[in-house]
Amino acid sequence: MRIIAIANPKGGVGKTTTAINLAASLAIAEKSVLLIDLDASRASTLGMGLLPESLQAGLLQVFIGPLNFQEVIYASPYQELERLNIIPNNINEQETEKRLYSAAQNRMRLKTVLEEIRQHYHPYDYVILDAPAMLNELTFNALAAAHSLIIPLRCGFFSLRRVEQFLTVVERIQRGINPQLRLEGILLNFYEKRTRVSQRSLAEARRLFNGLILNTIIPKNTDLGLAAFERRPVALLNIASNGAQAYLNLAREVLAWGQPETETQALPPLNRAL
């Protein structure tokens, strides 16, 4: 089971779009995938077509309990993605959010729960963590639990500087609570090859981060924005679009990092949000 965190403590960089579409693309590649929404915006939950009002359990129970895997893990609402499951973010009140952040001060909690899922419930091929767009205790839980890290980078000067700062945090995590964390790469997002800003961003990213830039580059694509409105991965909207093909290529790049420890197995019975 390979755990991949999608993290960048800056909003608007394509983090949730990457989490949703990478998870879906790996499922299309016939891997069993668990997507976990750690962001208070609940964007991955909504983007996967789950209705917050229909959720009986989710992220809150992962951290606070009671924890019943069959209650907190939901099946994808899309038949085409039967190998994709979701732990949604069911935080909808400020008081509940405070309780969650208090519980998340145990930075090893998510790692412990994922190990329980692997041992006692289902050893997924891949777990994708959609981390918050800020440095908080849930972000540290994601980095403590992950084997791999992808940092989405939006084309632009200020995004480049934020990634530089975040890499310092990642190095501290690697030296401290998670020596196994591997920075797999920086994913360039919203790329428009004919614009000087995108060309300069790519050149500067390669200069600053040397070999850390992933081969896959995600283009600015109308279908990616439309898919968010439709609350589904872009591959289910238009698999021939540049956006869908880019994320399928990213999935191929991820698969090339090495196969998970376990082979794909049939998923156990799950919740279905109506």
**pTM of the predicted protein model:** 0.91
**Which residues are registered as beta bridge partners of 182?**
148
pLDDT at 274: 41
Q: What is the CA radius of gyration of the chain?
A: 17
Using one digit for the tens of pLDDT, what is the confidence trace for 164-198?
889 999 999 999 999 999 999 999 999 888 888 88
The neighbour count for residue 223, using CB atoms within 10 Å, is 18
What is the four-CA torsion angle of 9, 13, 19, 21, rounded to 10 degrees?
A: 180
Burial per residue of 232-250, b for 16 or more beta-carbon CB atoms within 10 angstroms, e otherwise: bbbbbbbbebebbbbbbbb
Banded model confidence at residue 95, pLDDT cuts 50, 70, 90: low
Q: Which segments within 24-144 are labelled E, that is strand?
A: 33-37, 74-75, 84-87, 126-130
Q: Which residues contact 250 (CB under 8 A, 6 or more apart)?
A: 18, 21, 22, 25, 187, 214, 216, 218
Q: What is the rounded distance in angstroms from the CA atom of residue 149 to the CA atom of residue 25? A: 17
Secondary structure class of 156 (helix, strand, coil): coil
Q: What is the rounded distance in angstroms from the CA atom of residue 90 to the CA atom of residue 57? A: 7
Q: What is the rounded distance in angstroms from the CA atom of residue 221 to the CA atom of residue 228? A: 12
Using one digit for the tens of pLDDT, what is the confidence trace for 209-262?
888 899 999 999 999 999 999 999 999 999 999 999 999 999 999 999 876 655
CB 198 within 8 A of CB 219: no
| CA 163, chain centre distance (Å) | 17
Helix (H) or strand (E) holding 111: helix 109-116
